[in-house]
Structure formats: structure tokens, C-alpha cells
Amino acid sequence: MHRPPEPKTLDALLAQVSRLHHHRAHTLLDEVGLYRGQPPVLFILLEQDGLTQRELAERLEITPATMTKMLQRMEKAGFIQRQADAHDQRVSRVYLTQQGHDVHARLEEIWQQLNTENFEGFNEEEQTVLRSFLFRIRENLLRAIDDGLPVE
């Protein structure tokens, strides 16, 4: 990957860091056959296996159609299986396969690797300050979304 130009604003820098993080995470997840949005599905199912597709979509705040596409890919890769509900054949429940359970350990390693790479050279105090800044940015964005501020 070529080095991107240095951003001129903090907002542009934040966007560039987000894109670079996304690219790096995608590269590492690709090694285990996962796409960027799929690990949260695995983590949810580790906590509560057998949820419906609708319940998963609601927890991830995505559309049922997006959830269906994601589960199709995960099923094809062997990480999950869908089964009709025992009481209502119209409802599909999602379960982790052994391969889905096995990839969890590798996912934990990937998140640790990303964390180590991202914060190399930062001491504990710097990480604490950065965390507080990122939480403030997050709150500002959530407030803007909740207030329905117009785009200028």
C-alpha cells in the first residue's frame, strides 16, 4: 500500500486513520476467511447460540436483508449453520459450528495484534488521553445524530 498524503485537518486525519484501520483489519480477517462485519456475529453467538436472524440483525443494528447475506457467506465458509425453529418452521435459528468456535481464538489474537500495532510507542498515559479524546468525539457525533443536525 502506498503512503497516503498527510491530511490537512483533524477530521481528515481521523477519516484516514479509520480507513487504514479498516484495511489492516480486513487483511488480517481475510487470513481466517472472515469479512469485517462477521466477527460481531460470532461473538454474539458465543454468548447466546441459537438466536434468530431477526434477533441478530436487531443486535447489530443492520437490516434483515444485510443479515441474511452475511449469514449466507458465513454458512458457506462453515462458521455457522441455520436450522428451522422447532416450534415455528418459518423462523430460522443460527448456531455456531465447531469451525465457528475454533476461529474465536484466532479472532482474539487478531484483535490483540491490531491493538499492539495501533498503539505501538504509546505509553499508558497517552493511551488514556487518546481514549478520552475518542470518547468525546464519539459523544459529539452521537449528539449530532440524535439532534438531527443538518448537513452543511
If asked whether residues 59 and 111 sit together in one domain, one would say: yes
If asked whether residues 31 and 83 sit together in one domain, one would say: yes
Average pLDDT, the chain: 92
Q: What is the largest CA-CA distance in the chain?
A: 58
Cell reading at 62: 443492520
Residue 2 domain-assigned (yes or no)? no
Beta bridge partners, 83, equal 93
Residue 75 domain-assigned (yes or no)? yes
Alpha carbon distance 89, 28 (integer Å): 37
Query: With b meaning 16 or more CB within 10 Å and e meaning fewer, what string describes 124-150?
Result: eeeeeeeeeeeeeeeeeeeeeeeeeee
What pLDDT digit, counting tens, does each position of 5-40 carry? 898 999 999 999 999 999 999 999 999 999 888 999
Domain count, the chain: 2
Q: For 68-109, give the secondary structure using H, E and C.
A: HHHHHHHHHHCCEEEEECCCCCCCEEEEECHHHHHHHHHHHH
If asked whether residues 104 and 128 sit together in one domain, one would say: no
What pLDDT digit, counting tens, does each position of 31-73 carry? 999 988 899 999 999 999 999 999 999 999 999 999 999 999 9
At residue 105 the predicted structure's pLDDT band, cuts being 50, 70 and 90, is confident
In the three-class reduction of DSSP (H, G, I as helix; E, B as strand; rest coil), residue 93 is classed as strand
Cell reading at 76: 458457506
Residues of the domain holding 88: 23-118
152 pLDDT higher than 60: no
150 pLDDT higher than 80: no
* Kind plus residue range of the DSSP H or E element containing 51: strand 51-52
